[in-house]
Amino acid sequence: MLIDMINLLSIWQFLLVFEIVLFSSYTLIMYMSSKKKEELPDIDNLPTVTLIIPMYNEEKVIKEKIENTAQLDYPHEKLQVVLLDDYSTDKSEKVSLDTIGQTSLNATVVKNEGGKGKARGLNWIFSSINSGITVISDADALLKEDSLLEITKNYVDPEIGGVTGKIIILSDKTRMSKSHEDSYRFYFDIWRQGESNIDSVSVCNGPLMSFRTSILKKIKIDPNAYADDSDMLFKIIGLGYRVIYEQKAIVYERVPLSFKGRTIQKMKRINGLRKVYLNNYRLIGKGGFGKVIYPYALLTHIISPIAVLGLVFLYPAVVFSEPLYGFFLLFFILPKLGGILVSFMVTQFIMNFSFLVPTSGSWEAVEDARYSLDSNDNV
């Protein structure tokens, strides 16, 4: 019995050291790399941009999205807006057309003829786009006025094939989902900026992402990948281009109001992201992305959640044999650190059980994020 307890303690200690080394080393590497970012010069001749807004039953938010787009600081003569209607059954089309008529935008509503689903719709429409840059932004996400200017200036570098923006969460500050997301986003920004400076990001932010149109015409998004944003990311990296993070290109995203909605949303994203990671194993060892960023991404999304699950389930036995280990619980009530640890543990547990939610389908999580903003929201 004593030997078994010693073995359990050794296993628990090993898992704890693994988690600490994994995340602290990656955060340190990315933090040091993130400090190297250089200021880019302003572009004299701005590229033409097509902004695609995928739309499925968005009547609650699409008016606000179009009005937000009309306020962007980008020359309207160089901006084409396409609302890609994916077989909506509500009043999305009517609301869109009415709102477009009240603006000076060069905007159209296009019916998806590529087959139902965002990925199929994008694959279909890419061939008809003629602008230099294609930007994709969710219907429930709002862009900061200068976001397109900040995005496009990165394309002065011919090695850049894509640029993704920074998410700021819109939600009541008192909600737990908001505080957890803010804790995570602090480190997310460090990791993504460091990855960008080394080579390419390992995650693409769907609410605001952009790519060279000429490259998009060479790829096909997996129609069964819920993480269509990261599927595009890996395909473009596979073609030899970099996809980077631009912190000054701000997009505001709503968080689902309920914990259930937020959990379903996270599970679906994780399912899709894991599929993309596992399908692109050929990139391991290739360049800075394949030697550093991609291996860490596999460890943090595939191995780490299992290690955390082991830490939690073995913990009662560890405390029973060594009561001093009970003091680890104090870290969870410390200011700031406690919030980060809780956010981390919740995310890791969600990763372990994400298989319980189908990768596609289920409108519940998306619908839960469709709500009007008011004076209490954090913009």
pLDDT for 275-318, tens place per residue? 899 999 999 999 999 999 999 999 999 999 999 999 999 999 99
Q: Can you name the CATH fold of 1-371?
A: Spore Coat Polysaccharide Biosynthesis Protein SpsA; Chain A (3.90.550)
Average confidence (pLDDT) over 62-76:
95
Lowest mean pLDDT among 29-38, 123-132, 165-174, 283-292: 165-174
As given in the structure block, the two tokens for residue 270 are 């994780």
Has residue 208 got a pLDDT over 60? Answer: yes
At residue 274, the pLDDT reads 87
Residues of the chain with pLDDT > 90, as a percent, come to 60
Has residue 40 got a pLDDT over 70? Answer: no
Phi then psi dihedrals of residue 377, to 5 deg: -80, 150
Distance, CA of 193 to CA of 244 (rounded, Å): 8
Average confidence (pLDDT) over 177-203:
81
At residue 253, the pLDDT reads 87
Has residue 258 got a pLDDT over 90? Answer: no
Q: At what angle do helices 259-279 and 228-238 cross, to 10 degrees?
A: 20
At residue 361, the pLDDT reads 47
Instruction: Give every CB contact of residue 140 below 8 A, 6+ residues apart in sequence.
Output: 58, 61, 65, 253, 254, 369, 370
SS3 content of the chain, % helix, strand, coil (to 5): 55, 15, 30
**Segment 341-374, tens digit of pLDDT:** 887 888 887 888 776 666 554 444 455 556 555 4
Instruction: Give every CB contact of residue 23 below 8 A, 6+ residues apart in sequence.
Output: 300, 304
Considering the chain, what is the average pLDDT of its residues?
A: 86
Phi then psi dihedrals of residue 232, to 5 deg: -65, -40
As given in the structure block, the two tokens for residue 229 are 């944003």
Q: Are 211 and 236 in contact (CB under 8 A)?
A: yes
As given in the structure block, the two tokens for residue 86 are 């994916």
Has residue 377 got a pLDDT over 50? Answer: no
Cα of first residue to Cα of last residue in the chain, in angstroms, is: 57
Per-residue confidence at 334, pLDDT binned at 50, 70, 90?
confident
Instruction: Give every CB contact of residue 104 below 8 A, 6+ residues apart in sequence.
Output: 70, 76
Residue 297: enclosing H or E segment and its boundaries? helix 294-298
Domain spans of the chain, in order of start: 1-371
**Segment 316-329, tens digit of pLDDT:** 999 988 898 898 88
CA distances to 170, 248, 262, 377, 379 from 372, rounded to whole Å, are 11, 25, 17, 10, 13
